[in-house]
Amino acid sequence: MAGEIGTCYKKEAEVSVLLVYPNSYFVGMSNLGFQAIYYQLNQRPDTYCQRLFLDSSPLVSLEKGWPVNNFDIIAFSIPFELDYLNILKILDLAAIPLKGAERSDGYPLIIAGGIAVSANPEPLSEFIDLFVLGEGEEVVHELIDAYKAVRSQLSSPKHRQAGRTGREEALKKLAEVEGIYVPRFYHVSYNENGTVKAIETEDAPGKVRRRWVKDIDRYRTASHILTKGTEFGDMYLIEISRGCSENCYFCLAGYAYRPWRVRSLEKVFQEIEEGRKHRERIGFISTLASRHPQIEKICSKVLETKGKVSLASLRPGTLSKTLIEAMDRSGQRTLTLAPETGKEALRRTLNKNVSDEEILKSVELVADFTVPNLRLYFIIGLPGEDDDDIVAIADLVGKIRKRLFVSKKPGKITVSVNPFVPKASTSFQGMRMEEGKTLSRRLKILKKELRNLKNINFIHESVKWSLWQGILSRGDRRLGNVLLSTYRWEGDWRRALREEGLDESFYLRRGRSAEEIFPWAHLD
């Protein structure tokens, strides 16, 4: 923390919040959503938000060294399903009962938000008192206001009173805030085949609507805390747009952050000016940075200030010579593209309307400059895929390599492959996930096909943990005990499933009919 810029220190405040990222400081402080909520809460004179990470040692807040139990609210920011076990670990180390039903009024309120739980919070429903669904900048203020109004019904963690009642009544009031989901007020019944029969409630809205910010210009989303201890430690990060205009069927971010919104040129320029006070390099964050209608002007503004530009993943077909030149002049070492598949026809079934020619023309643009490295993202195990589609990935990489290195010294092409994981709330939410044996075999095919290409670095996600992610992404609340057992058995989720009498194939390898009630059907 000694090297941080922008850390908030307060003497005291009416409400104390511990914002927890259930992974390392290195990963968590690279997340702009995490930083945005920290900033919004600390803008309030009545609230003091401090931070905690999985690797915080000892397990106390970074800012003041407060024990976890000293806070009114513990708020988890959860972008990835694979971090669910870390949530249990943090609660366990803090001596907080893991299940919400076992917490008396003296314990902090446990809340959670983030893209993973906004899509489907059900597997964590036994452990979290309430979820914030959707984008948090507006709803966190309403949550704090509602919490203050009902806190008299809650005993303070700092002044425990055995037997004090009121937690349930307070949660009922909080459930009235749009975007807040309190799972204990919803009762789920199941059919004999394990599918959901009904989701009923008497004390909360029948449908909980996810929140989204209509005008993102109203809220700053940038590097509020600057630190060298992250992947982007040399950059000042700025969100220039939110959502996506492409609507690829498999992409959770494209669905969770609809509609597509762009930050105005005026606001981006203001952030560039602020960022240049602290960093030479300005990084622009967006699911589709090159689609911003003013992206060339934005990059030119950074160069005018003698700064450097860094852009996240770019869409083939949206690149221009001016854009590549800006990255080249900034000394950017790697350009990232996501073809997703090797065949154009398979790409179209994903609603990824990018042609092979657009990809290759984008590579030719890069070849004219000195950006030496390329990172390519692909998915395997997609609906309708066969072994020929895997070979086609290697063929496309070969064509890309030939065009990239035709006029300059070869750099490195990193081929990054992820198994397809169907996500709740996307168009592919009812699709089956491919078997682990098939995924492993296709990874071997691809590795073999790429072997003869020089300057290729092949990396991929673990098949085992991708399958676990697939179970959690569309799981129901019966997985609560599975999560608990998996935590106790140090990650052996297959053993945990067997102990609970649940079947891996039920969650992964069956197609869902249009008539099936999904576990997240009451969330809109």
Question: Hey, what are 237's tokens?
Answer: 């990060």
Domain regions of the chain by residue span: 15-201, 234-332
Strand ranges for 381-490 from DSSP E: 413-419, 456-460
pLDDT tens figures, 398-409: 999 999 887 667
Contact of 439 with 464, CB cutoff 8 Å: no
Contact of 301 with 269, CB cutoff 8 Å: yes
Q: Is the pLDDT of residue 178 over 50?
A: yes
Could you report how far apart the first and last alpha carbons of the chain are, in Å? 39
pTM: 0.94
Q: How many Å apart are CA 100 and CA 52, to the nearest integer?
A: 20
Question: Hey, what are 290's tokens?
Answer: 């090159």
Confidence bin at 302 (pLDDT 50/70/90): very high
- What residues have CB less than 8 Å from 236, skipping those under 6 apart? 222, 223, 226, 271, 274, 275, 276, 278, 279, 281, 282, 283
What is the topology classification, in CATH, of domain 15-201? Rossmann fold (3.40.50)
Which residues on adjacent β-strands are paired with residue 20? Answer: 52, 76
Residue with tokens 């739980």: 117
How confident is the model over 25-33, as a mean pLDDT? 95
Region 234-332: CATH code: 3.30.750.210
Residue with tokens 């086609």: 392
Strand order in the sheet with 456-460: 334-340, 373-380, 413-419, 456-460
pLDDT tens figures, 212-243: 999 999 999 999 999 998 989 999 999 999 99
421-457 burial code (b ≥16 CB/10 A, e <16):
bbbbbbbbbbbbbbbbeebeebbeebeebbeebeebe
Residue with tokens 């070849």: 367
Helices (H) and strands (E) in the chain, counts: 18, 17
Query: Is the previous residue joined to 259 through a cis bond, with omega within 30 degrees of 0?
Result: yes
Common-topology check for domains 15-201 and 234-332: no
Torsion of CA 335, 232, 272, 247, to 10 degrees: 50
| Torsions phi, psi for 265 (to 5 deg) | -60, -40
Mean pLDDT of the chain: 93
H helices of 101-251, in order, are 115-119, 136-150, 167-174
Nearest to 418 by CA among 365, 364, 462, 352: 462
Nearest to 316 by CA among 381, 366, 273: 366
Confidence bin at 151 (pLDDT 50/70/90): confident
**pLDDT on residue 245:** 83
